[in-house]
Structure 1
Amino acid sequence: MGDGISNGISNGISNGIIEKVIPYTDITVSRLIFAIIVLVAGFISVKFLVYIFRRGINKTKLPDLTTQFLAHFLSILLYVIVILAFLKSLSFDVDSFIVGLSAVIGLVLGLGMQDTLTNLSAGVWVAAIRPIDMGEMVIINGQTGKVKSVGIMSTDLLTPDNQLITIPNKLVWGSSIVNMTRMPTRRAAVDVGISYSSDFEKAIRIALDLMKGHPLVLPDPEPAVVTTELANSSVNLQLRAWTKTGDFATVKNNLIAGIFEAYKREGIEIPFPQMDIHVKEIK
């Protein structure tokens, strides 16, 4: 009998604490606990659903860029729903909150701050049409870097010196994009000047032999040497060699070093910029 009385007292105290109203609010402890459970369960569910979504969409062989964009969009949408469910569990008037939020959004757009909507729509177009893709080296709005991610509002580029550049999507979609790695092959161009007294035909032959002897230079299109300018102190040549895109940097660096060594060895002068000044004596 004593145990029954003790259990009854304990249950009464527990029920009293749970049903106690938190000071300065109309929320009971039990409702707060329930709301926290909803929030935690919601966040866990969002991560699980996004994970399932990623696995499912990967089977469609969509590009990584599109997959990442859709996953970000879905996660934000689900997080908003979870937060609204959390507020609803605390007896907040969510309907009024949504109406109020819509009014705020309308006011923001009315004040001319519609960049958010513009960036969002631009992000959708970038993800759908894919002028850029994950890992590609591009020039966007004057910025050069490798595409790290395309989010709902902005695109991230990682520069060769490891700087992260964030560009609003409206600038990505609204500006010219130079994609340096989309095509399978690229032409490496190396400029070099020779003196007017050097053997012109020999200089061209040395340059051609250098390119044709490089293992990473493609035979088709055939390497070429063109004269680009008759400058003040030099005849400017350009070595043009085609290679696979992944080998571009290696081939260009090798050609720069190779042509310097070859011309030095064969007596082809690479002149310094110079200016001849004639002084005329006035009697």
Structure 2
Amino acid sequence: MLTLGSAGIVNQLMSGLVLVYSRALSVGDFVDIGETVGVVSEVGALSTKIINMRNEEVTIPNAVLVGSPIKNYSRLAGARGTLVSTKVTIGYDTPWRQVHAMLISAAEQTPGLRALPKPFVYQRSLADWYVEYELFAHMDKPLERVPVLSALHANIQDQFNTYGVQIMSPHFVVQPAGNVVVPRESWHAAPAEPEAGGPTTGTLQQPGTPV
């Protein structure tokens, strides 16, 4: 007779087969599953074990894994490396070209991030009081993702402090007396440089395209 307990075991076994044949993860992969980030140490018939960043072994039932989004940072880390990204929100009174230049400079100074393909920045949204920027860069070793991101965040702070730009999202309680804009003469504030094609041109880079 099939009991509730045996049905649960069968479910775990079937989930384990799904993980194996879908190749969603393998031993040694650096993954992000829900609140667990770490290295896969074992993929069993009933559960999967992950060593997290605090050197703790986390056991996750395979049925839970099959029903959860799995971010595998190791799977696509080929010749170009794997992408890492981080976001900042900066007010409209800071020239966007300056923000791009500072973020890219911070990435170029971070050990563990590749010089090629070059780091690049997207403006993800234009909110009421600030612009959301996302910096992308490539790295060779997915297992070093957390310490490399920590070093990148430190370099971003140093860059913004060097050029006197606050990393914050301004919120206006009252309407400013004047318009919050960047005058044309400040469009290329250091460390930004004028574009060869003119003051309003830019280069659009898509993820995965050669540089």
**TM tier, smaller:** 0.5 to 0.7
TM score, norm. by length of structure 2: 0.65
Among candidates 140, 151, 161, match of residue 264 of structure 1: 161
5 Å-filtered alignment, 1:246-257, equals 246-257=143-154
By how many angstroms is 1:224 displaced? Answer: 0.9
By how many angstroms is 1:142 displaced? Answer: 5.8
CA distance in 1, matches of 2:41, 2:49: 5
Residue aligned with 2:100, SS: helix
Residue aligned with 1:253, SS: helix
Q: Which residue does the alignment assign to 2:89?
A: 193
By how many angstroms is 1:276 displaced? Answer: 1.7
5 Å-filtered alignment, 1:20-39, equals none
- The aligned amino acid for 2:76 is M
- The aligned amino acid for 2:123 is T
Query: Quick check: 1:243 aligned with 2:139?
Result: yes
CA contact (8 A) 2:110 2:155 kept: no
Q: Which residue does the alignment assign to 2:7?
A: 114
CA deviation profile, 1:55-94 (whole Å, cap 9, x unmatched): xxxxxxxxxxxxxxxxxxxxxxxxxxxxxxxxxxxxxxxx
CA deviation profile, 1:182-220 (whole Å, cap 9, x unmatched): 232222212223332223322322322333344533233
- The aligned amino acid for 2:124 is T
5 Å-filtered alignment, 1:114-153, equals 114-127=7-20, 130-140=23-33, 143-153=36-46
CA contact (8 A) 1:141 1:171 kept: no
By how many angstroms is 1:165 displaced? Answer: 3.0
Query: Quick check: 1:226 aligned with 2:122?
Result: yes
Q: Which residue does the alignment assign to 1:9?
A: none
CA contact (8 A) 1:233 1:271 kept: no
Which has more strand, going by share of residues?
2
CA contact (8 A) 1:207 1:239 kept: yes
CA contact (8 A) 1:141 1:172 kept: no
Distance 1:251 1:277, change over 3 A: same
CA distance in 2, matches of 1:259, 1:221: 19
Structure 2: runs of 5+ lacking an equivalent: 176-211
Structure 1: runs of 5+ lacking an equivalent: 1-106, 279-283
Which has more helix, going by share of residues?
1
Q: Which residue does the alignment assign to 1:51?
A: none
- The aligned amino acid for 2:43 is V
Query: Quick check: 1:166 aligned with 2:63?
Result: no
Question: More deviation in 247-256 or 120-129?
Answer: 120-129
Distance 1:110 1:195, change over 3 A: closer
- The aligned amino acid for 1:126 is L
Residue aligned with 1:114, SS: helix
Q: Percent identity?
A: 26
By how many angstroms is 1:147 displaced? Answer: 1.9
Structure number with higher relative contact order (C-alpha < 8 Å, ≥ 6 residues apart): 2
CA-atom RMSD in angstroms: 2.9
CA contact (8 A) 2:121 2:136 kept: yes
TM score, norm. by length of structure 1: 0.51
By how many angstroms is 1:110 displaced? Answer: 5.3
CA contact (8 A) 2:31 2:37 kept: yes
CA distance in 2, matches of 1:156, 1:247: 19
Distance 1:204 1:119, change over 3 A: closer
CA deviation profile, 1:11-56 (whole Å, cap 9, x unmatched): xxxxxxxxxxxxxxxxxxxxxxxxxxxxxxxxxxxxxxxxxxxxxx
